[in-house]
Protein backbone atom coordinates (compact mmCIF):
# COMPACT_ATOMS: atom_id res chain seq x y z
CA UNK A 1 0.00 0.00 0.00
CA UNK A 2 2.89 2.33 0.83
CA UNK A 3 4.43 1.67 -2.60
CA UNK A 4 1.13 2.41 -4.32
CA UNK A 5 0.83 5.61 -2.33
CA UNK A 6 4.35 6.64 -3.36
CA UNK A 7 3.48 5.97 -7.00
CA UNK A 8 0.36 8.09 -6.70
CA UNK A 9 2.38 10.91 -5.13
CA UNK A 10 5.02 10.60 -7.85
CA UNK A 11 2.46 10.78 -10.62
CA UNK A 12 0.81 13.75 -8.93
CA UNK A 13 4.12 15.55 -8.73
CA UNK A 14 4.25 15.67 -12.50
CA UNK A 15 0.75 17.00 -12.89
CA UNK A 16 1.79 20.22 -14.58
CA UNK A 17 0.23 22.37 -17.25
CA UNK A 18 1.22 19.89 -19.96
CA UNK A 19 -0.45 17.01 -18.15
CA UNK A 20 -3.52 19.16 -17.51
CA UNK A 21 -3.70 20.11 -21.17
CA UNK A 22 -3.51 16.52 -22.34
CA UNK A 23 -6.20 15.51 -19.84
CA UNK A 24 -8.53 18.23 -21.09
CA UNK A 25 -7.85 17.23 -24.72
CA UNK A 26 -8.66 13.64 -23.94
CA UNK A 27 -11.94 14.63 -22.30
CA UNK A 28 -12.72 17.02 -25.14
CA UNK A 29 -12.42 14.15 -27.58
CA UNK A 30 -14.79 12.06 -25.48
CA UNK A 31 -17.24 14.94 -25.33
CA UNK A 32 -16.95 15.52 -29.07
CA UNK A 33 -17.82 11.86 -29.68
CA UNK A 34 -21.28 12.74 -28.37
CA UNK A 35 -21.25 9.98 -25.77
CA UNK A 36 -21.99 12.18 -22.74
CA UNK A 37 -25.02 13.74 -24.43
CA UNK A 38 -27.13 10.61 -24.51
CA UNK A 39 -29.76 10.05 -21.86
CA UNK A 40 -28.48 6.50 -21.42
CA UNK A 41 -24.91 7.57 -20.61
CA UNK A 42 -26.08 10.15 -18.12
CA UNK A 43 -28.35 7.64 -16.38
CA UNK A 44 -25.68 4.94 -16.30
CA UNK A 45 -23.19 7.39 -14.72
CA UNK A 46 -25.68 8.73 -12.21
CA UNK A 47 -26.50 5.16 -11.20
CA UNK A 48 -22.77 4.52 -10.84
CA UNK A 49 -22.37 7.57 -8.57
CA UNK A 50 -25.22 6.23 -6.43
CA UNK A 51 -23.55 2.81 -6.33
CA UNK A 52 -20.18 4.35 -5.51
CA UNK A 53 -21.71 6.16 -2.53
CA UNK A 54 -23.64 3.08 -1.44
CA UNK A 55 -20.76 0.62 -1.71
CA UNK A 56 -18.23 3.12 -0.35
CA UNK A 57 -20.26 4.16 2.69
CA UNK A 58 -17.97 2.55 5.26
CA UNK A 59 -14.81 3.92 3.64
CA UNK A 60 -16.37 7.38 3.31
CA UNK A 61 -17.22 7.47 7.02
CA UNK A 62 -13.66 6.35 7.84
CA UNK A 63 -12.06 8.94 5.53
CA UNK A 64 -14.16 11.74 7.04
CA UNK A 65 -13.22 10.55 10.50
CA UNK A 66 -9.57 10.59 9.54
CA UNK A 67 -9.74 14.07 7.95
CA UNK A 68 -11.99 15.81 10.47
CA UNK A 69 -12.94 13.26 13.14
CA UNK A 70 -16.39 13.88 11.74
CA UNK A 71 -19.00 11.99 13.80
CA UNK A 72 -20.54 9.11 11.83
CA UNK A 73 -24.05 10.49 12.10
CA UNK A 74 -22.99 13.79 10.54
CA UNK A 75 -21.14 11.97 7.75
CA UNK A 76 -24.16 9.80 7.00
CA UNK A 77 -26.78 12.55 7.22
CA UNK A 78 -24.95 15.53 5.71
CA UNK A 79 -22.73 13.90 3.14
CA UNK A 80 -23.78 10.35 2.24
CA UNK A 81 -27.58 10.72 2.41
CA UNK A 82 -27.47 14.10 0.70
CA UNK A 83 -25.55 12.58 -2.19
CA UNK A 84 -27.87 9.59 -2.42
CA UNK A 85 -30.76 12.00 -2.55
CA UNK A 86 -29.13 14.14 -5.26
CA UNK A 87 -28.68 11.00 -7.39
CA UNK A 88 -32.27 9.93 -6.70
CA UNK A 89 -33.70 13.32 -7.70
CA UNK A 90 -31.54 13.53 -10.84
CA UNK A 91 -32.44 10.00 -11.92
CA UNK A 92 -36.14 10.60 -11.32
CA UNK A 93 -36.28 13.98 -13.04
CA UNK A 94 -33.62 13.80 -15.74
CA UNK A 95 -35.95 12.88 -18.62
CA UNK A 96 -38.18 15.84 -17.77
CA UNK A 97 -35.22 18.21 -17.36
CA UNK A 98 -33.88 17.20 -20.78
CA UNK A 99 -37.13 17.89 -22.64
CA UNK A 100 -36.86 21.23 -24.46
CA UNK A 101 -39.13 23.82 -22.91
CA UNK A 102 -41.73 25.12 -25.39
CA UNK A 103 -42.17 28.88 -25.21
CA UNK A 104 -44.51 31.39 -26.80
CA UNK A 105 -43.42 33.29 -29.89
CA UNK A 106 -44.26 36.85 -30.89
CA UNK A 107 -46.25 38.34 -33.71
CA UNK A 108 -42.99 39.45 -35.36
CA UNK A 109 -41.95 35.84 -35.97
CA UNK A 110 -45.40 34.50 -36.89
CA UNK A 111 -45.73 31.73 -37.92
CA UNK A 112 -43.09 29.98 -35.81
CA UNK A 113 -42.56 27.88 -32.74
CA UNK A 114 -39.78 28.20 -30.18
CA UNK A 115 -38.14 26.24 -27.44
CA UNK A 116 -35.32 26.42 -24.93
CA UNK A 117 -32.98 23.51 -25.37
CA UNK A 118 -30.65 22.56 -22.52
CA UNK A 119 -27.32 21.85 -24.12
CA UNK A 120 -24.30 20.40 -22.30
CA UNK A 121 -21.50 22.95 -21.95
CA UNK A 122 -18.62 20.57 -22.70
CA UNK A 123 -15.73 19.85 -20.34
CA UNK A 124 -16.13 21.32 -16.88
CA UNK A 125 -13.90 21.66 -13.84
CA UNK A 126 -15.09 21.17 -10.26
CA UNK A 127 -12.77 22.41 -7.49
CA UNK A 128 -14.03 21.54 -4.04
CA UNK A 129 -13.36 22.37 -0.39
CA UNK A 130 -12.38 20.33 2.66
CA UNK A 131 -15.24 20.80 5.13
CA UNK A 132 -17.84 18.55 3.47
CA UNK A 133 -15.27 17.05 1.16
CA UNK A 134 -17.35 14.18 -0.18
CA UNK A 135 -20.58 16.07 -0.68
CA UNK A 136 -18.99 19.21 -2.12
CA UNK A 137 -17.00 17.11 -4.60
CA UNK A 138 -19.65 14.76 -5.91
CA UNK A 139 -22.74 16.96 -5.72
CA UNK A 140 -21.56 19.30 -8.50
CA UNK A 141 -20.29 16.27 -10.44
CA UNK A 142 -23.83 14.84 -10.34
CA UNK A 143 -25.12 18.09 -11.87
CA UNK A 144 -22.38 18.13 -14.50
CA UNK A 145 -23.09 14.52 -15.53
CA UNK A 146 -26.88 15.02 -15.52
CA UNK A 147 -26.39 17.95 -17.90
CA UNK A 148 -24.28 15.76 -20.22
CA UNK A 149 -20.77 17.12 -19.62
CA UNK A 150 -17.35 15.57 -19.23
CA UNK A 151 -15.89 16.58 -15.88
CA UNK A 152 -12.64 16.87 -13.97
CA UNK A 153 -12.89 16.96 -10.18
CA UNK A 154 -10.13 18.48 -8.03
CA UNK A 155 -10.90 17.62 -4.38
CA UNK A 156 -9.33 19.56 -1.52
CA UNK A 157 -5.85 18.54 -0.38
CA UNK A 158 -6.84 19.74 3.10
CA UNK A 159 -8.95 16.57 3.45
CA UNK A 160 -6.37 14.08 2.09
CA UNK A 161 -8.06 10.81 3.07
CA UNK A 162 -11.28 11.82 1.34
CA UNK A 163 -9.38 13.14 -1.67
CA UNK A 164 -7.58 9.86 -2.24
CA UNK A 165 -10.74 7.83 -1.63
CA UNK A 166 -12.58 9.95 -4.20
CA UNK A 167 -9.80 9.39 -6.72
CA UNK A 168 -9.97 5.64 -6.16
CA UNK A 169 -13.76 5.33 -6.24
CA UNK A 170 -14.33 7.60 -9.23
CA UNK A 171 -11.75 5.61 -11.20
CA UNK A 172 -13.39 2.35 -10.20
CA UNK A 173 -17.03 3.29 -10.75
CA UNK A 174 -17.28 6.01 -13.40
CA UNK A 175 -16.46 6.24 -17.10
CA UNK A 176 -12.78 7.31 -17.08
CA UNK A 177 -12.97 8.66 -20.59
CA UNK A 178 -15.31 11.38 -19.35
CA UNK A 179 -15.03 11.74 -15.56
CA UNK A 180 -11.66 12.14 -13.85
CA UNK A 181 -10.19 13.15 -10.54
CA UNK A 182 -6.96 15.13 -10.20
CA UNK A 183 -5.60 15.23 -6.69
CA UNK A 184 -3.36 18.01 -5.51
CA UNK A 185 -2.97 21.46 -4.05
CA UNK A 186 -2.14 24.91 -5.41
CA UNK A 187 0.25 23.89 -8.19
CA UNK A 188 -2.04 21.18 -9.59
CA UNK A 189 -5.05 23.50 -9.37
CA UNK A 190 -3.07 26.27 -11.07
CA UNK A 191 -2.15 23.89 -13.90
CA UNK A 192 -5.82 22.99 -14.26
CA UNK A 193 -6.91 26.62 -14.16
CA UNK A 194 -4.58 27.48 -17.04
CA UNK A 195 -6.68 25.29 -19.35
CA UNK A 196 -9.74 26.29 -21.28
CA UNK A 197 -12.88 24.92 -19.59
CA UNK A 198 -16.53 25.31 -20.48
CA UNK A 199 -17.46 26.01 -16.85
CA UNK A 200 -15.63 26.11 -13.55
CA UNK A 201 -17.45 25.33 -10.33
CA UNK A 202 -15.41 26.39 -7.33
CA UNK A 203 -16.26 25.93 -3.65
CA UNK A 204 -14.07 27.66 -1.10
CA UNK A 205 -13.00 31.08 0.12
CA UNK A 206 -13.33 34.38 -1.72
CA UNK A 207 -9.59 34.98 -2.05
CA UNK A 208 -9.16 31.86 -4.18
CA UNK A 209 -12.56 32.57 -5.76
CA UNK A 210 -10.97 35.68 -7.24
CA UNK A 211 -8.01 33.64 -8.56
CA UNK A 212 -10.45 31.21 -10.18
CA UNK A 213 -12.46 34.01 -11.75
CA UNK A 214 -9.35 35.69 -13.11
CA UNK A 215 -8.16 32.46 -14.69
CA UNK A 216 -11.63 31.86 -16.12
CA UNK A 217 -11.81 35.38 -17.57
CA UNK A 218 -8.84 34.62 -19.79
CA UNK A 219 -10.97 32.11 -21.71
CA UNK A 220 -14.36 33.77 -21.07
CA UNK A 221 -15.28 30.69 -19.07
CA UNK A 222 -18.38 31.03 -16.90
CA UNK A 223 -17.98 30.33 -13.20
CA UNK A 224 -20.14 29.03 -10.39
CA UNK A 225 -18.59 30.33 -7.18
CA UNK A 226 -19.78 28.77 -3.94
CA UNK A 227 -18.15 30.97 -1.30
CA UNK A 228 -18.82 31.82 2.34
CA UNK A 229 -19.30 34.77 4.64
CA UNK A 230 -20.60 35.79 8.03
CA UNK A 231 -24.08 34.27 8.30
CA UNK A 232 -26.02 36.07 11.05
CA UNK A 233 -28.70 34.74 13.38
CA UNK A 234 -31.13 37.28 14.76
CA UNK A 235 -32.98 36.16 17.88
CA UNK A 236 -36.10 38.04 18.94
CA UNK A 237 -37.41 37.77 22.51
CA UNK A 238 -40.79 36.21 21.62
CA UNK A 239 -39.38 32.81 20.64
CA UNK A 240 -39.61 29.29 22.00
CA UNK A 241 -36.16 29.64 23.49
CA UNK A 242 -35.42 25.97 23.94
CA UNK A 243 -36.28 25.10 20.35
CA UNK A 244 -34.45 28.17 19.03
CA UNK A 245 -31.23 27.42 20.92
CA UNK A 246 -31.27 23.76 19.93
CA UNK A 247 -31.62 24.76 16.29
CA UNK A 248 -28.76 27.25 16.59
CA UNK A 249 -26.61 24.52 18.14
CA UNK A 250 -27.62 22.08 15.38
CA UNK A 251 -26.52 24.56 12.69
CA UNK A 252 -23.34 25.59 14.46
CA UNK A 253 -21.66 22.81 16.42
CA UNK A 254 -23.55 19.80 15.00
CA UNK A 255 -22.40 20.91 11.55
CA UNK A 256 -18.76 19.96 11.61
CA UNK A 257 -18.13 22.01 14.77
CA UNK A 258 -18.93 25.25 12.98
CA UNK A 259 -16.75 24.49 9.96
CA UNK A 260 -19.68 24.79 7.58
CA UNK A 261 -20.35 27.52 5.05
CA UNK A 262 -23.91 28.17 6.29
CA UNK A 263 -23.22 27.73 10.00
CA UNK A 264 -24.40 30.62 12.15
CA UNK A 265 -21.41 32.96 12.33
CA UNK A 266 -22.72 35.38 14.94
CA UNK A 267 -25.90 36.15 16.87
CA UNK A 268 -27.67 39.47 17.25
CA UNK A 269 -30.17 39.85 20.06
CA UNK A 270 -31.37 42.52 22.46
CA UNK A 271 -29.38 43.53 25.54
CA UNK A 272 -32.32 42.53 27.67
CA UNK A 273 -32.75 39.08 26.15
CA UNK A 274 -29.08 38.14 25.77
CA UNK A 275 -28.56 36.74 29.32
CA UNK A 276 -31.55 34.39 28.92
CA UNK A 277 -30.33 33.25 25.52
CA UNK A 278 -26.83 32.61 26.86
CA UNK A 279 -28.20 30.62 29.83
CA UNK A 280 -30.27 28.31 27.67
CA UNK A 281 -27.50 27.92 25.10
CA UNK A 282 -25.12 26.88 27.89
CA UNK A 283 -27.68 24.45 29.32
CA UNK A 284 -28.38 22.81 25.97
CA UNK A 285 -24.70 22.70 25.00
CA UNK A 286 -23.92 20.90 28.22
CA UNK A 287 -26.73 18.41 27.59
CA UNK A 288 -25.41 17.69 24.10
CA UNK A 289 -21.64 17.69 24.66
CA UNK A 290 -21.25 17.11 28.40
CA UNK A 291 -19.25 19.04 30.99
CA UNK A 292 -16.02 18.44 29.10
CA UNK A 293 -16.82 18.91 25.42
CA UNK A 294 -13.21 18.29 24.40
CA UNK A 295 -13.92 14.65 25.27
CA UNK A 296 -17.14 14.48 23.28
CA UNK A 297 -17.17 12.07 20.36
CA UNK A 298 -19.93 14.13 18.76
CA UNK A 299 -17.80 17.12 17.77
CA UNK A 300 -15.50 17.31 14.76
CA UNK A 301 -11.97 18.48 15.36
CA UNK A 302 -10.46 21.55 13.71
CA UNK A 303 -9.21 20.42 10.32
CA UNK A 304 -5.53 21.30 10.71
CA UNK A 305 -3.03 23.35 12.71
CA UNK A 306 -3.32 26.37 10.38
CA UNK A 307 -7.02 26.64 11.01
CA UNK A 308 -6.46 25.95 14.74
CA UNK A 309 -4.00 28.87 14.85
CA UNK A 310 -6.39 31.08 12.89
CA UNK A 311 -9.23 30.39 15.36
CA UNK A 312 -6.92 30.78 18.36
CA UNK A 313 -5.96 34.22 17.08
CA UNK A 314 -9.62 35.23 17.04
CA UNK A 315 -9.98 34.11 20.67
CA UNK A 316 -6.71 35.70 21.79
CA UNK A 317 -7.53 39.10 20.27
CA UNK A 318 -7.27 41.51 23.18
CA UNK A 319 -10.47 43.20 22.02
CA UNK A 320 -12.46 40.10 23.06
CA UNK A 321 -10.61 39.48 26.29
CA UNK A 322 -13.07 38.83 29.12
CA UNK A 323 -15.92 38.28 26.64
CA UNK A 324 -15.98 34.48 26.74
CA UNK A 325 -19.09 33.42 28.67
CA UNK A 326 -18.92 29.72 27.86
CA UNK A 327 -16.28 27.29 26.59
CA UNK A 328 -12.97 28.57 25.33
CA UNK A 329 -11.12 25.31 26.11
CA UNK A 330 -8.56 24.23 23.50
CA UNK A 331 -6.30 21.26 22.96
CA UNK A 332 -3.68 22.08 20.38
CA UNK A 333 -2.26 18.57 20.14
CA UNK A 334 -5.59 17.05 19.16
CA UNK A 335 -6.82 20.19 17.35
CA UNK A 336 -9.90 20.47 19.54
CA UNK A 337 -11.79 23.62 20.43
CA UNK A 338 -14.90 23.54 22.63
CA UNK A 339 -18.17 25.24 21.70
CA UNK A 340 -17.50 28.82 22.77
CA UNK A 341 -19.86 31.73 23.37
CA UNK A 342 -18.64 35.32 23.50
CA UNK A 343 -20.97 38.06 24.68
CA UNK A 344 -20.93 41.70 23.62
CA UNK A 345 -17.85 41.54 21.46
CA UNK A 346 -16.84 44.89 19.92
CA UNK A 347 -17.75 45.28 16.27
CA UNK A 348 -14.13 46.10 15.42
CA UNK A 349 -12.74 42.88 16.92
CA UNK A 350 -11.10 40.35 14.59
CA UNK A 351 -13.86 37.82 15.20
CA UNK A 352 -16.47 40.25 13.84
CA UNK A 353 -14.44 41.05 10.76
CA UNK A 354 -13.81 37.70 9.14
CA UNK A 355 -15.73 34.51 8.60
CA UNK A 356 -15.20 32.41 11.75
CA UNK A 357 -15.63 28.93 10.26
CA UNK A 358 -15.24 27.18 13.60
CA UNK A 359 -16.85 26.61 17.01
CA UNK A 360 -16.81 30.22 18.25
CA UNK A 361 -20.12 32.08 18.44
CA UNK A 362 -20.03 35.80 19.25
CA UNK A 363 -23.25 37.43 20.39
CA UNK A 364 -23.71 41.12 19.79
CA UNK A 365 -26.46 43.06 21.48
CA UNK A 366 -28.75 45.88 20.40
CA UNK A 367 -31.51 47.89 22.06
CA UNK A 368 -34.14 46.83 19.55
CA UNK A 369 -34.10 43.73 17.38
CA UNK A 370 -34.90 45.88 14.30
CA UNK A 371 -31.39 47.38 14.58
CA UNK A 372 -30.03 44.05 13.37
CA UNK A 373 -31.13 44.89 9.82
CA UNK A 374 -28.63 47.75 9.52
CA UNK A 375 -25.87 45.71 11.13
CA UNK A 376 -26.33 42.87 8.64
CA UNK A 377 -26.72 45.16 5.64
CA UNK A 378 -23.60 47.14 6.51
CA UNK A 379 -21.44 44.04 5.95
CA UNK A 380 -20.89 41.82 2.90
CA UNK A 381 -23.88 39.84 1.73
CA UNK A 382 -23.81 36.55 3.64
CA UNK A 383 -24.41 33.04 2.32
CA UNK A 384 -27.27 32.57 4.78
CA UNK A 385 -29.26 34.68 7.22
CA UNK A 386 -31.46 33.36 10.02
CA UNK A 387 -34.20 34.93 12.10
CA UNK A 388 -35.97 33.50 15.15
CA UNK A 389 -39.20 35.32 15.93
CA UNK A 390 -42.95 34.93 16.20
CA UNK A 391 -43.52 38.40 14.82
CA UNK A 392 -45.03 38.09 11.33
CA UNK A 393 -44.14 41.66 10.36
CA UNK A 394 -40.51 41.14 11.30
CA UNK A 395 -40.37 37.88 9.31
CA UNK A 396 -41.70 39.62 6.22
CA UNK A 397 -39.31 42.53 6.66
CA UNK A 398 -36.33 40.19 7.10
CA UNK A 399 -37.17 38.05 4.08
CA UNK A 400 -37.71 41.06 1.82
CA UNK A 401 -34.89 43.36 2.93
CA UNK A 402 -31.96 41.16 3.94
CA UNK A 403 -29.85 40.19 0.95
CA UNK A 404 -28.28 36.75 1.47
CA UNK A 405 -27.78 33.53 -0.48
CA UNK A 406 -30.64 31.99 1.49
CA UNK A 407 -32.86 32.91 4.42
CA UNK A 408 -34.45 30.64 7.01
CA UNK A 409 -37.01 31.72 9.58
CA UNK A 410 -37.00 29.90 12.92
CA UNK A 411 -34.27 27.41 12.04
CA UNK A 412 -30.74 27.28 10.65
CA UNK A 413 -29.06 25.51 7.69
CA UNK A 414 -32.05 23.38 6.67
CA UNK A 415 -32.59 25.17 3.34
CA UNK A 416 -29.59 23.17 2.12
CA UNK A 417 -31.70 20.02 2.22
CA UNK A 418 -34.57 21.40 0.13
CA UNK A 419 -33.59 20.28 -3.35
CA UNK A 420 -36.25 22.44 -4.98
CA UNK A 421 -34.42 25.54 -3.73
CA UNK A 422 -31.32 26.99 -5.40
CA UNK A 423 -28.22 26.87 -3.21
CA UNK A 424 -25.69 29.62 -3.71
CA UNK A 425 -24.49 33.02 -2.64
CA UNK A 426 -24.85 36.63 -3.66
CA UNK A 427 -22.18 39.31 -3.77
CA UNK A 428 -19.17 38.24 -1.68
CA UNK A 429 -20.83 34.91 -0.83
CA UNK A 430 -20.73 33.73 -4.42
CA UNK A 431 -22.43 33.66 -7.78
CA UNK A 432 -24.68 31.11 -9.41
CA UNK A 433 -26.40 28.26 -7.63
CA UNK A 434 -26.96 24.52 -7.77
CA UNK A 435 -28.85 21.57 -6.19
CA UNK A 436 -31.65 19.60 -7.87
CA UNK A 437 -32.75 21.10 -11.17
CA UNK A 438 -30.53 24.13 -10.48
CA UNK A 439 -27.49 21.82 -10.79
CA UNK A 440 -28.68 20.63 -14.18
CA UNK A 441 -29.23 24.25 -15.24
CA UNK A 442 -25.87 25.38 -13.84
CA UNK A 443 -24.04 23.01 -16.20
CA UNK A 444 -26.29 23.56 -19.24
CA UNK A 445 -26.44 26.23 -21.87
CA UNK A 446 -30.02 27.36 -22.44
CA UNK A 447 -30.10 27.40 -26.21
CA UNK A 448 -32.77 29.52 -27.90
CA UNK A 449 -34.29 27.62 -30.82
CA UNK A 450 -36.87 28.92 -33.31
CA UNK A 451 -38.59 26.71 -35.88
CA UNK A 452 -40.03 28.22 -39.05
CA UNK A 453 -41.57 26.80 -42.19
CA UNK A 454 -41.45 28.39 -45.64
CA UNK A 455 -44.85 30.01 -45.38
CA UNK A 456 -45.54 33.55 -44.15
CA UNK A 457 -42.49 35.23 -45.62
CA UNK A 458 -43.17 38.88 -44.71
CA UNK A 459 -41.93 41.35 -47.32
CA UNK A 460 -41.30 44.06 -44.70
CA UNK A 461 -37.95 42.51 -43.80
CA UNK A 462 -36.50 42.99 -47.21
CA UNK A 463 -35.18 46.07 -48.97
CA UNK A 464 -36.02 48.35 -50.58
CA UNK A 465 -37.27 49.94 -47.29
CA UNK A 466 -40.07 51.98 -48.80
CA UNK A 467 -42.06 54.59 -46.89
CA UNK A 468 -45.09 52.32 -47.20
CA UNK A 469 -43.26 49.56 -45.28
CA UNK A 470 -42.34 52.02 -42.52
CA UNK A 471 -46.01 52.88 -42.03
CA UNK A 472 -46.94 49.19 -41.57
Binding to ligand NAD, residues 246-265 (CB under 6 A): 261
Q: Which of 182, 230, 185 is nearest to 206 (CA)?
A: 230
- Per-residue DSSP letters for 241-259? HHHHHHHHHHHHTTTGGG-
Give the sign of the dihedral formed by CA 205, CA 210, CA 214, CA 216. Answer: positive
Q: Which member of 121, 141, 158, 402 binds ligand NAD (CB under 6 A)?
A: 158
Catalytic residue list contains 226:
yes
Distance (Å, whole) CA 195 – CA 128? 17
Q: Which of 74, 79, 226, 428 is catalytic?
A: 226
Residue placing its CB nearer to ligand NAD in the complex, 143 or 425: 425
H or E segment to which residue 341 belongs: strand 340-343
Residue placing its CB nearer to ligand NAD in the complex, 255 or 363: 255
Distance (Å, whole) CA 344 – CA 323? 7
Least gap, CB of 124 to ligand NAD (angstroms): 15
Distance (Å, whole) CA 398 – CA 401? 5
Residue placing its CB nearer to ligand NAD in the complex, 289 or 434: 434
Angle at 60 between CA 304 and CA 248, to 5 degrees: 60
Distance (Å, whole) CA 133 – CA 156? 7
Does 156 interact with ligand NAD (rule: CB under 6 A)? yes
Q: Which stretch binds ligand NAD (CB under 6 A): 53-61, 204-212, 294-302, 344-352?
A: 204-212
Q: Is 75 helix (H, G, I), strand (E, B) or coil?
A: helix
Does 326 interact with ligand NAD (rule: CB under 6 A)? no
Torsion of CA 64, 69, 73, 76, to 10 degrees: 0
Q: Which of 277, 301, 292, 289 is nearest to 250 (CA)?
A: 289
Q: Which of 178, 201, 261, 428 is catalytic?
A: 261
Does 131 interact with ligand NAD (rule: CB under 6 A)? yes
Least gap, CB of 322 to ligand NAD (angstroms): 28
Residue placing its CB nearer to ligand NAD in the complex, 120 or 204: 204
Q: Which member of 42, 70, 154, 247 binds ligand NAD (CB under 6 A)?
A: 154
Least gap, CB of 296 to ligand NAD (angstroms): 23
Residue placing its CB nearer to ligand NAD in the complex, 170 or 325: 170
Q: Which residues bind ligand NAD (CB under 6 A)?
A: 127-131, 136, 154, 156-158, 185-186, 189-190, 203-205, 208, 211, 226-228, 261, 355, 357, 383, 425, 430
Active site residues: 226, 261
Amino acid sequence: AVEVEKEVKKSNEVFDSKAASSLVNELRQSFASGKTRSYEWRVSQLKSVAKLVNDGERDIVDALRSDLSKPELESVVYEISMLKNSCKVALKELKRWMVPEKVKTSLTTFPSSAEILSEPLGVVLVISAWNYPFLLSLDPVIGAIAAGNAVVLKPSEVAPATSSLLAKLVKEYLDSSCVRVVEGAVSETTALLEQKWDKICYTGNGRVGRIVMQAAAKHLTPVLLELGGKSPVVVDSDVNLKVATRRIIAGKWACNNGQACISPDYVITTKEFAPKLVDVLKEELEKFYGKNPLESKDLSRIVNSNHFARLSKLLDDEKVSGKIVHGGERNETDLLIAPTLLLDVPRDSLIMNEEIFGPLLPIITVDKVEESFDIISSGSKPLAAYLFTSNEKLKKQFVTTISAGGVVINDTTIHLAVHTLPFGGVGESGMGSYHGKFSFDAFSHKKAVVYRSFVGDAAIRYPPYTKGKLRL
